[in-house]
A and B are shown apart, each in its own frame.
Chain A
Amino acid sequence: MTHEVPTYIGFEEYSERVPASIPSAVQQATNRFVSGRAARVSELPQWEELRQIGSDIRLHTIEHMDVYLTRLEEKVKAAGGHVHWAQTAEDANRIVLQIAREHNVKTAVKSKSMATEEIGLNHALEQAGIQAIETDLGEYIIQLAGTGPSHIIVPAVHLKKEEIAAIFSEKLDMNAPADPIELARIAREVLREKFLNAEMGISGGNFLVAETGTLVMVTNEGNGRMCTTVPDLHVAVVGIDKVIPDWESLTVFLKLLARSATGQKLSTYTQFITGPRCEEGEFGPKEFHLVLLDNGRSNVLKDPVGREVFKCIRCGACANVCPVYKNVGGFAYGWFISGPIGAILSPQMLGTKTARELPYASTLCGACADVCPVKIPIPTILRHLRRRVAQGDAIALPTMPAPIRVTASLASLALTQNWIYRFGTRLLPTLMSVFRRDNWVPSAPYPLSRWTKARPLPPFTAGFRNWWKNVRSAKTKESAR
């Protein structure tokens, strides 16, 4: 998984070859986040109320996105910033490249941004001969490793410290110890020089406050502040879904975000950037550009069920509790965004031809919806997208393989025609008795073999109907007599 937009996401294929080190690394990290979140949430008696308000504001913004985006553009311009509209990923890359060329940029420092992962900006810059350096520690690690992120907020969550040390040793040509503090020190040393020499800083954004045209960044390492203040040029690439109405709404999301993401009350740094610096002596770049990324979002917004995915504030809490994610890791989801939110976003952004497997990558256990700070009904949207895959809807034709669709039709028939069901119920115990060993069926023919490869099947007994009709009713009659 690098810069390329996938043409088919083979979740099943990947799930059969998950590197053994990934689940344990992922579980270790996510379990820590889960308990941290639980502790912060329990301190806040109004948590459920906050979630509801957060959800309402996001839904309202989604429904009136045009209004808020127009206001945002106006305010950013009034503050002296430039606003660019990017319809597609290519447009966004082209815009950033053009700005870079105009300023003769050779090196760009980047703070962590999912939007630039989405459009593959690093690759586009490198193709144009511009060095793009990730400065978030996790992003720096995966950039060295040459992969994409495997978690929304902890991009290198799948790596253990020994693996990170090995990557540093190889890529930086040194002998790096497997010690987190030492590894962070090495990265700081390398990156400090880059910050000072870069001509451009690139960031994403957590929120865009329409009221004042303010870009809000929620970070922990301080690199985001360096990227957006040291170079004279700051370009922010942000999805249009990140717009929120005003500062009052922002207070709600700032309460929800860090608690849900890392189990912090507030992240170490919360930056509010309104345009470039106005006077000499003020902090900040001379020029501020905001690239507003659509890349298919407007289309998704037309679907009243699916569009709730854009309530997301990218905290990653859904992944942290997802038992599927915790056992396969983020790369299984095939694109920049993983976990339950990825399973409902990618099929909508890339289409159900490319990502038809993702809506099924869930047991519908509902743990994600329980923790989502903005109450995205993830299981409902998963079922909605499964319908799109299985039977098609106004947005797409069905992409489920024909044999499965035929099987579903036959099942529906058998379950509706009582005599077929009962005939089958009588037949199965006999048919399956061939495979029975004591009280188990250790291996069964296809498709049940896909069950028995992991655990045996209990034997088909199907004795209740007969018991009710003969044994029990005989007894009941007797006792009535």
Chain B
Amino acid sequence: MPKAQLFITCLGDQFYTSTLQNMTHILERLGVELIFPPEQTCCGQPLFNNGFEDKTRPVALNFMHAFAKSDAPIIGPSGSCVSMVKHHYPSLFKEGTPEHTLAVDISSRTFEFTEYLVNVLKVTDVGAVYSHKVSYHASCHYLREMGLKTEAKTLLNCVKGLEFVSLKEEETCCGFGGAFTVTYPEVSRSMMENKVKDIVASGADTVVMCEPGCLMNVAGGLHKAGSKIRAMHIIDLLASREDTL
């Protein structure tokens, strides 16, 4: 029985309880034995991306110690947070130090949720049913830092009843960018509004993505625009067994 550790991310923790529950259900249904280290807080990305590398280090150490108690893979519902751990943690510590060794170890076994499903468990059909017209927003770090170009679409492709429609600008940033939303709110707004327009124009009734941050931004933007289009984390879509949503 494969084991995995749940990396719930701070945004998931604060805002997306049901997504995390669905992540638990899907993984357990696939026979994964789950561990949840409660000492985890945030991966430190907001500090790191805003230039506070010194202040990121203790946060990263907290994360690594929380997940070092088990040698099981670490699975997170966010390409961005996973990329922080996978690609940036090793750069935070000097080579040759025990912290660096630990960072490299943690980095090597941290996976984004869809990546873990498709590339590690080799599962593409999770038995989901969702009879809707669905479009997909490719989140930046998921796409470019993690290089996950096909995983989400492969999973969507296996969902029964689902009709996929492409966004014209699938790979254009939605304007989230973490602290960017509050640093330059007007620019973030324009970018988000462009994304919302593109989603509306696609004719889909659902837009799906693999990132809590983008989801907060896009869902809020759609709501503000008075749109009925549902923005979802891919996990919630994959968890729907019947068309009851």
Contacts and interface: CB of A to CB of B under 8 A. Distances in A.
Interface of A: 11-12, 15-16, 18, 23, 323-324, 327-328, 359-367, 369-370, 383, 385-391, 400, 405, 408-409, 411-412, 414-416, 418, 421, 425, 428, 440, 447-448, 450-451, 453-465, 467-469, 472
Contacts of B187: 15, 324, 327-328, 361
Given A425-B14, A451-B181, A387 B220 contact: no
A18 B36 CA distance: 47
Given A363-B140, A415-B42, A457-B216, A450 B185 contact: yes
Given A362-B177, A418-B39, A327 B21 contact: no
A104 to B, nearest CB: 50
B221 interface: yes
Contacts of B51: 359, 383, 385-391, 400
A435 to B, nearest CB: 14
Interface stretch (B54-62, B96-104, B128-136): B54-62
17 contacts: A18-B186, A324-B187, A362-B180, A363-B180, A364-B141, A365-B140, A365-B144, A369-B144, A383-B51, A387-B52, A391-B52, A418-B39, A454-B224, A458-B15, A464-B12, A464-B13, A468-B36
A359 B183 CA distance: 12
Contact of A360 (B16, B41, B50): B50
B173 A455 contact: no
A454 B185 contact: yes
A365 B173 contact: yes
A370 B147 CA distance: 11
Contacts of A370: 144
A411 B183 CA distance: 17
B140 to A, nearest CB: 4
A453 B221 CA distance: 11
Given A360-B179, A411-B47, A461-B16, 13 more contacts: A323-B194, A327-B187, A365-B177, A387-B52, A388-B51, A391-B55, A415-B44, A416-B62, A421-B41, A425-B13, A455-B221, A461-B17, A465-B38
Nearest to B139: A365
Contacts of A386: 49-51
Contact of B52 (A327, A408, A447): A408
Contact of B13 (A387, A414, A418, A465): A465
A412 B56 contact: yes
B219 A458 contact: yes
B15 A408 contact: no
B20 A464 contact: yes
B13 A462 contact: yes
A362 to B, nearest CB: 7
A67 to B, nearest CB: 31
A470 B184 CA distance: 41
A467 B38 CA distance: 12
Contact of A467 (B10, B21, B41, B194): B21
B232 interface: no
A388 B51 CA distance: 7
B171 interface: yes
Interface of B: 8, 10, 12-18, 20-21, 24, 36, 38-39, 41-42, 44, 46-56, 58-59, 61-62, 140-141, 144-145, 171-173, 175-192, 194, 216-217, 219-221, 223-224
Label chain B's interface by main secondary structure: helix
Contact of A323 (B10, B141, B173): B173
B51 to A, nearest CB: 3
Contacts of A415: 10, 41-42, 44, 47, 59, 62
Nearest to A464: B20
B58 A367 contact: no
A367 B182 contact: no
Contact of A363 (B8, B41, B61, B173): B173
Given A370-B144, A391-B51, A391-B53, A428 B14 contact: yes
A414 B13 CA distance: 15
B15 A390 contact: no
Given A365-B140, A389-B51, A451-B182, A458 B216 contact: yes
Q: Taking each of A366, A447, A464, which has the highest tally of chain B beta carbons within 10 Å of its own beta carbon?
A: A464
Contacts of B24: 468, 472
Contacts of B59: 412, 415-416
Contacts of B17: 461-464, 467
B49 A15 contact: no
Nearest to A322: B173
A161 to B, nearest CB: 23
Contacts of A459: 15
Given A391-B53, A464-B13, A456 B58 contact: no
Given A412-B56, A418-B39, A447 B182 contact: yes
Contacts of B12: 464
B144 A367 contact: yes
B211 to A, nearest CB: 12
Contacts of A462: 13-15, 17
A363 B182 contact: no
B62 A418 contact: yes
A446 to B, nearest CB: 9
